[in-house]
Amino acid sequence: MGKNKLDKFYNRTIDQRIEALMTEKYLEQRPIDDFKESLILPEEIANHMIENQIGTYQLPLGLALHFLIDDKEYLLPMATEEPSVIAAASFAAKTIAVAGGFTTEITDRVMIGQIALKGIKDKEQAIHAISAAEEEIITIANEAHPSIVKRGGGACGINIRWIERDQEQDTSSFLVVHLHVETLEAMGANMINTMVEAIKPYLESLTAAKAVMGILSNYATECLATARCRIPVDVLARRGLSGVEIRDRIVEANQFAIADPYRAVTNNKGIMNGIDALVIATGNDSRAIEAGAHAYATRSGQYRSLTKWTKAENGDLIGELTIPLPIGTVGGSIGIHPGATFTHQMLGYPDAKRLEAIIVSLGLAQNFAAIRALVTDGIQKGHMALHAKSLAINAGATGDEVKKVTQALRKAEHMDLKTAEQILAKLRS
């Protein structure tokens, strides 16, 4: 991983980091200013991406280091506004790399489109009619978007669900038809929406019922990604705490997040700190991934931790994370946003399954870092250092002042903006 050359990456200036990446061949050699300019979203493109565009809203783009995923090394580009997320991911990845890295398992990439039918008179007859017409339904769907079939994907099956009327919630009963679609390298929202709209009238005619809507489901339960890691206890030991003690505390903390939704939400938010940052950096739809992940956390009937940490028979700590990851490597803004073009290049142009493997591993790393901090030093220690820096910048510190004000703030009685401003004023006088 060009280990020595990227050592103390965080201590370098931005230009030195870019230079090191070029020397280590993670980036092609070119003038640094050219590289920086290549990441800027041109107004012309931004204006075509959304409506009523008036400017761009930028996020810092950083790199998480030390990731070893299925025996391959990666630097992960992350777009985030939150301090300490990238540091935590890198720290966790370094520990996990020592223990052999992440292994992943990715299911087939099958996305789901739904058509909800209302006013079904004879449920059994409707289900029978739809089941018998499965082939025709698939044909109509594929004829609506033939190019994906030519590429080797397309609609491949249906699933029928009956949702009973719920008096308490005042909802009707629905017959829901799921269309399963292999979307290959795309997330597939647009092709699926085209397909479900095409089969809607046919389903209405088969059932003499009214279709409420046809739309993609972001609950992509047929497109799951799992990352695992296995960490020997001697790798876990740190500052006066044995590896066994830390392992047991991590397992216990995880059990708390499995049992209590109040903790689970914060636990899963931490997982999404990393996942969102990489999903955004690669031009993917973070809202789709967030919605699907949180829904998946409720699959047992209660909102729970998405990760599971257990003790192996030989005493190792085993971590596992599974989430739906309907991302793409084509489509949406991926091919037109220069930042996304860069991040796909940085990752070595992974295909969609590989990108899923990378993203889910980052989520597991993020969770490991957060839980380990919580059961040892607490997370405030690391956070406050970065918070001090942010206060120094907010107070107006620039250049060398940032470091000086940050250091003084960390020793001050109160770490707040007023104190930062006072320190800066004193420094300048």
Q: Which amino acid is at 131?
A: S
By CB under 6 A, which span of 38-46, 78-86, 188-196, 400-408 interacts with ligand NDP? 188-196
Among 242, 232, 195, smallest CA distance to 216 is for 195
Residue in the block written with tokens 């007023």: 418
By the rule CB under 6 A, 281 interacts with ligand NDP? no
274 or 332, CB closer to ligand NDP?
Answer: 332
- Structure token pair of residue 391: 């206060």
Task: Answer for the pair 4, 81: CB distance below 8 angstroms, yes or no.
Answer: no
- Count of alpha carbons within 13 angstroms of residue 320, beta-carbon side: 10
Task: Answer for the pair 287, 216: CB distance below 8 angstroms, yes or no.
Answer: no
H/E stretch holding 412: none
Which of 59, 241, 330, 393 is the binder for ligand NDP (CB under 6 A)? Answer: 330
By the rule CB under 6 A, 350 interacts with ligand NDP? no
The nearest distance, CB 184 to ligand NDP, in angstroms, is 3
How far is the C-alpha of 207 from the C-alpha of 215, rounded, in Å?
A: 19
Which of 68, 93, 158, 184 is the binder for ligand NDP (CB under 6 A)? Answer: 184
By the rule CB under 6 A, 390 interacts with ligand NDP? no
By the rule CB under 6 A, 190 interacts with ligand NDP? yes
- The helix-helix angle for 417-428 and 400-411 (nearest 10°) equals 120
By the rule CB under 6 A, 227 interacts with ligand NDP? no
- Structure token pair of residue 123: 């449920």
By the rule CB under 6 A, 114 interacts with ligand NDP? no
By the rule CB under 6 A, 332 interacts with ligand NDP? yes
By CB under 6 A, which span of 44-52, 237-245, 249-257, 328-336 interacts with ligand NDP? 328-336
Which of 115, 148, 278, 357 is the binder for ligand NDP (CB under 6 A)? Answer: 148
Task: Answer for the pair 67, 102: CB distance below 8 angstroms, yes or no.
Answer: yes
The nearest distance, CB 187 to ligand NDP, in angstroms, is 4
Which residues lie below 8 Å from residue 21, measured CB to CB, with a gap of 6+? 6, 27, 63, 75
- Structure token pair of residue 114: 């739904």
Which of 84, 95, 218, 268 is the binder for ligand NDP (CB under 6 A)? Answer: 218
Q: Which residues form the catalytic set?
A: 82, 269, 285, 383
Alpha helices in 133-260 (DSSP H): 134-144, 146-150, 189-207, 233-236, 243-259
By the rule CB under 6 A, 328 interacts with ligand NDP? yes
By the rule CB under 6 A, 187 interacts with ligand NDP? yes
**How many CB atoms lie under 10 A from the CB of residue 252?**
12
By the rule CB under 6 A, 314 interacts with ligand NDP? no
- Structure token pair of residue 122: 């004879």
The nearest distance, CB 209 to ligand NDP, in angstroms, is 24
Site residue total, ligand NDP (CB under 6 A): 20
Which of 288, 325, 375, 408 is the binder for ligand NDP (CB under 6 A)? Answer: 288
By the rule CB under 6 A, 76 interacts with ligand NDP? no
324 or 328, CB closer to ligand NDP?
Answer: 328
Task: Answer for the pair 321, 305: CB distance below 8 angstroms, yes or no.
Answer: no
192 or 321, CB closer to ligand NDP?
Answer: 192
Alpha helices in 39-156 (DSSP H): 43-49, 85-98, 123-132, 134-144, 146-150
The nearest distance, CB 41 to ligand NDP, in angstroms, is 15
Write out the residues near ligand NDP by the rule CB under 6 A. 147-148, 151, 183-191, 216, 218, 285, 288, 328, 330-332
